Structure 1
Amino acid sequence: MLDTSLHNFARGTICIEDIEIGMTRFLRKTVTDRDIALFAEVSTDHNPVHLDDDYARDTIFGGRIAHGMLTAGLISAVIGEQLPGHGTVYLGQNLKFLAPVRPGDVVLAQVTVTDILHAKRRVSLECRCSVGDTTVLKGEALVLAPSRKFD
């Protein structure tokens, strides 16, 4: 049996007609100082806990951390690139941030199909990000999946 937790999935599209409950896709990314700086620029969130070592050292985190939404963006990447993939439209997302992500951490972002409403092309996804054995983010997403009927 193929261990999908170690499989590299291709980017593209899985249409609603081919999605099954339990399908899982993921990506791994090392969060870099550059990622954090670029996210600060794009989002205009320049909170010093993300950017200033001296400031961040005196916080409850004891050092700099990545923006929570940078980590959440990795979930968006899995949804938009792999499951369902290209053509997917976000309808909703809820998230719980459980632990910080630090520069240099390798984040595993994973989504798993939990429910499908074929008539409305809606797919519910369990979302989780982890660093090693620590879950740093979890939640659910609702998306509108692409369909071959609308090509």
Structure 2
Amino acid sequence: MMNYFVGQTASFSRTVTETDIVMFAGLSGDYNPVHVDKEYADDTRFGKRIAHGLLTTSFLSRLLGMELPGKGSVYLEQSLKFLKPVFIGDTITASAEILEIDQDRGILRLETICRKQDNTVVLKGEAKMMMPKEGAKI
């Protein structure tokens, strides 16, 4: 088992593009006009199109699955609170910090946060991940 410690952190950044929105809409089937229709979105409280909340959340999946705890880990739980909209062109930094380690069960509890380029928190929550160890009890 890899050596993890409470307070350990990792982060990953990505800029949201028009292509991301279109591909996510196609993959998820979520063609809500607030995401895909400029004219419709211009008349909403946001004033322009917003990214799908779960598109932003998917950056956490990439972070947790590839960085911390990393390859071979498995998502068990994720709580989410969406705080601010994400727009095309925003650079989002997904970060995670280990809050608790259950060695017996091979499970990590992590704080998860996504921030815009100006450090505005757009999403926060907690995740539980099975550590990448063969034979971990779940």
What does residue range 60-99 of structure 1 map to in structure 2 within 5 Å? 60-99=45-84
- CA RMSD for the aligned pairs? 1.2
Q: Does 1:137 align with 2:123?
A: yes
TM-score by length of 1: 0.86
Distance 1:36 1:20 in 2: 36
Q: Which amino acid aligns with 2:28?
A: S
2:6 equivalent to 1:21: yes
Normalized per residue, which structure has more helix?
1
Equivalent position to 1:114, from 92, 99, 102: 99
Identical positions, percent? 44
Residues 47-66 of structure 1: matches in 2 within 5 Å? 47-66=32-51
Shift of residue 147 of structure 1? 2.2
Separation in 2, partners of 1:87, 1:148: 9
Q: Which amino acid aligns with 1:141?
A: A
**Cα distance in 1, alignment partners of residues 51 and 113 from structure 2:** 16
What secondary structure does 1:129 align onto? Answer: strand
In structure 1, list runs of 5 or more residues that go unmatched. Answer: 1-14
Distance 1:95 1:76 in 2: 13
Return the letter of the residue paired with 1:69.
Answer: L
Once the two structures are superposed, residues 87-146 of structure 1 have per-residue CA deviations (whole angstroms, 9 ceiling, x without a partner) of 111111100000000000000100110000000001000000000221000000011111
Amino acid at match of 1:147: K
